[in-house]
Amino acid sequence: MIRSLYSGIGGMKNFQTKLDVIGNNIANVNTFGFKKGRATFNDLVSQQMAGASAPVAGGRGGTNPMQVGLGSGLSSIDTIDTQGSIQTTGRDLDLAIAGDGYFVLDDGQGNIGYTRAGNFYRDSDGTLVNANGFILTGIDNGPIVIDNAAGYDSYTISSNGEVLGIPSGDGDPVVLGQIQIATFANPGGLSKAGGNIFVETPNSGAPNLGAPGMDGRGELVNSALEMSNVDLSEEFAEMIVAQRAFQANTRMITTSDEILQELVNLKR
């Protein structure tokens, strides 16, 4: 009876965490490059009421163990790094990665971050940066600079990350730099740092840097952005399941409390 009370409390905490994860997913349904989360549970230690016994030759058969579980615990909060849908924007500096990989960003102080959000901008120096001013790095780990004063009428970005300046007249395009992307042995091990940024962790593995479209890296899609991989219908279904499970655990607590009250009332 007391065990059931504490099992219900533990279940409520777990499903509250699950609802928190679902709420964050729904809040980021329109966040570029967002990767949804998922909460999973595991059962806790079980109290052994009786052990298992082996069959006795010519005698009694074996018996199974008798155990009472002590509730559930939070097992993991996973990052689901499946591909989001790619939406065409028509903007030259919007980039999406079709496949594996992350854009590599430098905050200017040596701190490196990784993102799937490809909405980039030019600052006053012509350097490509994200919305927070983090510098998009190229193959040489340096910045990508598009300088209109160098005599280029326009520019374009190819699927392999080459930034091409289109000169005035009939000149050939000039490579201004090449965007690099990073892949990881375990992308689910990356840590979310806010601002659409992931950072490396000991369990993500070291980044494998290189050109898009090479060694298993995805290719770039110009004038497009990757949307969030959150599926609203799935999230609402999970929210209903979590809500009902939370209610069931609260009912377990009230039922255990009513039984305790009956025991107390035995002595009048």
Q: Does residue 220 share a domain with residue 238?
A: no
Q: Does residue 235 share a domain with residue 222?
A: no
Write the Ramachandran bin of 205: left for phi over 0, alpha for psi from -120 to 50, otherwise beta: left
Tally of domains within the chain: 2
Model pLDDT, residue 150: 64
Q: Does residue 136 share a domain with residue 171?
A: yes
DSSP string, 8-72: HHHHHHHHHHHHHHHHHHHHTTT-TT---EEEEEEE--EEEEE--BPPPTTSPPPB--EEEE--E
Model pLDDT, residue 200: 95
Instruction: Tell how strand 102-106 and strand 135-136 pair up.
Output: antiparallel
Model pLDDT, residue 50: 86
Q: Which domain holds residue 240?
A: 2-48+68-81+230-265
Q: Does residue 247 share a domain with residue 172?
A: no
Helices 2-27 and 232-265 sit at what angle, rounded to 10 degrees? 160
10-residue averages of pLDDT along the chain (268 residues):
83 94 96 95 85 84 86 92 94 94 93 95 91 93 80 84 82 87 94 94 94 94 95 96 94 88 81
**What kind and span of H or E run contains 250?**
helix 232-265
Model pLDDT, residue 166: 82
What pLDDT, in 10s, does the model give residues 198-242?
999 999 999 999 999 999 999 999 999 999 999 999 999 999 999
Model pLDDT, residue 149: 59
CA distance 47 to 3: 10
Model pLDDT, residue 39: 95
Q: Does residue 217 share a domain with residue 261?
A: no
Model pLDDT, residue 268: 67
In-domain check, residue 247:
yes
CA angle 22, 113, 107 (to 5 degrees): 125
Model pLDDT, residue 184: 95
Q: Does residue 41 share a domain with residue 136?
A: no
Q: Does residue 109 share a domain with residue 11?
A: no
In-domain check, residue 105:
yes
Model pLDDT, residue 131: 92
CA distance 181 to 105: 10
Residue 185 phi, psi dihedral angles, 5° rounding: -60, -35
In-domain check, residue 16:
yes
